[in-house]
Amino acid sequence: MFPSSYYTWDSDSEVWQPMIKSTTSPANHQAQFSAVTTLALYSWNIGFMLPFAEARMSASLAHLEEVTKQLASTTAVATNLQECHPSDLVNISQKQWAQERFHMAATYPHLDEELAGAIIAGDFNAIQPFDATLHSNNDLKDA
């Protein structure tokens, strides 16, 4: 197993703290996920190179806040924001609703041999010649 970290908001110290994924989950961590029955996946291409990228990011975050707060507690939420600028990550991390409801991760799950599957969200538009075969080179299957 490839150890990877994710970050969770610590309201006492008011910083994102790294949490290292271990091979065994504590009982309370497991119980937190036992009530999850549904996955909501949101994917948004921000397009930071297009005009008004900051305004589009603000609009997308406001929309995500609204739609995710309406979900049942049994729904786990995963978001995938593509074509973001590094400053967007700072912006997201400073949103109180994101701190309260999400963990943040920048991981390399393809290195974790224990994963049985994954969801890849976003576009696979072939904009350069090598892009045309990415899906077949990596044995990706469409749902």
Its sign, for the CA torsion 21, 22, 27, 31, is: positive
- Comparing 6 with 2, which gets the higher pLDDT? 6
Comparing 14-18, 43-47, 87-91, the range with the smallest average pLDDT is 43-47
- In this prediction, residue 69 has a pLDDT band, given cuts at 50, 70 and 90, of very high
Q: What is the rounded average pLDDT of the residues 21-30?
A: 51
Whether 39 and 75 have beta carbons less than 8 Å apart is answered as: yes
pLDDT over 90 (residue 89): no
10 Å CB burial of residue 18 (0-12, 13-18, 19+) is: exposed
Question: DSSP secondary-structure letter at 94?
Answer: T
In 3D, which of 2, 1, 22, 19 has the Cα closest to residue 10? 19
Quick count: other Cβ atoms within 10 Å of Cβ 104? Answer: 15
Question: DSSP secondary-structure letter at 105?
Answer: -
Place of tokens 């892009």: 131
Assessment of whether the complete model's pTM goes beyond 0.95: no
3-state secondary structure of 127: coil
How many residues are present in the chain?
143
Percent with pLDDT over 90 in the chain: 27
3-state secondary structure of 139: coil
- In this prediction, residue 127 has a pLDDT band, given cuts at 50, 70 and 90, of confident
Q: Where are the chain's structural domains?
A: 35-133
